[in-house]
Amino acid sequence: MDLGFLTAQDRACADLPTELFVPESGLPGKAAKDACRRCPYTTDCLAYAYATGDNYAYMGGTTANERRTVRPPQHTPRRLQVAGRRRQVVDMADAGLTLKEIALVLKLPVATVTADKIRAGRKQAAARVNVALYAQIDALDAAGVSPTRIAEKLHIGRRTVYNRRAQRQTGLVAA
Ligand code: SF4
């Protein structure tokens, strides 16, 4: 599961109050629904909600009640194929093959191989940024700085700070 969305600055809920997503009635308001509808991370967020067994929050466009009654969505074979192909491209590039050579071996257009390689590079760069950001959040948190102050200092949403705390507490991500 890709947890990068937890700290992504472009999550649609990044700057919205957490309470909107944890409504007492269990039913989300329009602002939360609109946010999840336009969010680019709905799939990852939904997978995370299922994986953590969240019982309260409106996540990935679903209420906790909906998740209890609907089975988690499966990755489609097509998604798995693409993910597997990208891993092959990265492994071969790491082994020193040129993009043209990889395209020949995998019988793919060079443009596809190039796009896969660029995408993988972006993901790695984003992961490096996340690791650095997590370290900063953890250090400030350990020093007793409040989540609001941490968010202001690092120019991130408060929800990011809370999410990182939740990751550490649930052991989903090593502290
Ligand atoms: S709750 Fe999940 S899907 Fe909804 S806006 Fe936030 S990150 Fe996106």
Structural domain harbouring 57: 4-69
Q: What is the pLDDT of residue 175?
A: 39
Q: Looking at the structure, do residues 102 and 144 belong to the same domain, yes or no?
A: yes
Distance (Å, whole) CA 175 – CA 158 = 18
Q: How far is the CA of 91 from the centre of ligand 1 (A)?
A: 32
Axis-axis angle for helices 99-106, 77-94 (nearest 10): 140
Q: Which of 69, 87, 106 is the last residue of a domain?
A: 69
User: Is 175 within the bounds of a domain?
Assistant: no
CA-proximal residue: ligand 1, atom 1 (nearest): 59
Q: Looking at the structure, do residues 34 and 108 belong to the same domain, yes or no?
A: no
Question: Does residue 6 line the site of ligand 1, with CB under 6 A?
Answer: no
Q: What is the largest CA-CA distance in the chain?
A: 58
Q: What is the pLDDT of residue 51?
A: 79
Contact call for residues 3 and 48 (beta carbons, < 8 A): yes
Contact call for residues 14 and 160 (beta carbons, < 8 A): yes
Residue 15, burial from CB neighbour count under 10 angstroms (0-12, 13-18, 19+): middle
Distance (Å, whole) CA 73 – CA 42 = 12
Distance (Å, whole) CA 135 – CA 114 = 32
Q: Looking at the structure, do residues 100 and 161 belong to the same domain, yes or no?
A: yes
151-155 — which CB contacts under 8 Å span 24+ positions? Answer: none
Q: Looking at the structure, do residues 45 and 85 belong to the same domain, yes or no?
A: no
Question: Which of 20, 39, 162 should be mutated for ligand 1, with most atoms under 8 A from CB?
Answer: 39
Q: Looking at the structure, do residues 28 and 50 belong to the same domain, yes or no?
A: yes
pTM tops 0.75: no
* Tokens encoding 50: 């299922």
Distance (Å, whole) CA 31 – CA 16 = 9
Q: Looking at the structure, do residues 86 and 117 belong to the same domain, yes or no?
A: yes
Residues 6+ apart with CB under 8 A from 101: 92
Which atom from ligand 1 is nearest to the alpha carbon of 39? 8
Helix intervals (H) in 30-157 = 30-38, 42-52, 64-69, 77-94, 99-106, 110-142, 147-154
Q: Looking at the structure, do residues 36 and 98 belong to the same domain, yes or no?
A: no
Q: How far is the CA of 64 from the centre of ligand 1 (A)?
A: 14
Q: How far is the CA of 6 from the centre of ligand 1 (A)?
A: 9
CA-proximal residue: ligand 1, atom 6 (nearest): 13
Segment-wise mean pLDDT, segments of 10 residues, the chain, 175 residues:
80 90 85 93 86 86 86 62 79 85 84 86 77 89 92 88 79 47
**Using only C-alpha atoms, what is the Rg of the chain?**
19
Q: What is the pLDDT of residue 73?
A: 64
Q: Looking at the structure, do residues 12 and 58 belong to the same domain, yes or no?
A: yes
